[in-house]
């Protein structure tokens, strides 16, 4: 009987320590979650502030003022625009149909310059 009592007391102490460890771990995790929630809230506030600043910087009136001040552009004239029907015809392709990119590059040199001509590579 005495052995059973000692075993039961030992089991209760073990169970209490396991419960205490679980409670301690859950408290740490709750603190970590609260810290992360605070960081998320700060990041969302920063994103909202940056979006508001972007909206202010992206206004057409501000961009128009900067363009007039720094670029010195002239207004477009109506005679600068033309219909697509008035465009000249596309020129005929002068490159061979096999390798259009190769034709743009031009002729290929005989040697690359890494090995002198006439000497075999070793």
What are 44-100's pLDDT values in tens digits?
999 999 999 999 999 999 988 888 888 888 878 888 888 888 888 877 665 456 677
Reported pTM: 0.46
Quote the CA–CA distance of 101 and 98 in Å, as a whole number.
9
Quote the CA–CA distance of 63 and 53 in Å, as a whole number.
14
Residues in the chain: 122
Burial 30-43 (b: 16+ CB within 10 A, else e): eeeeeeeeeeeeee
């Amino acid at each position: 009987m005495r052995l059973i009592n000692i075993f039961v007391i030992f089991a209760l102490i073990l169970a209490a320590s396991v419960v205490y460890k679980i409670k301690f771990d859950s408290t740490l995790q709750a603190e970590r979650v609260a810290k992360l929630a605070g960081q998320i809230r700060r990041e969302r506030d920063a994103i909202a502030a940056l979006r508001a600043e972007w909206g202010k910087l992206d206004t057409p009136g501000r961009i128009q003022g900067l363009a007039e001040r720094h670029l010195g552009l002239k207004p477009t004239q109506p005679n600068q625009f033309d219909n697509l029907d008035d465009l000249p015809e596309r020129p005929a392709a002068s490159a061979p149909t096999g390798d259009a990119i190769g034709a743009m590059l031009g002729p290929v040199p005989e040697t690359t310059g890494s090995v002198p001509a006439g000497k075999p590579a070793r």
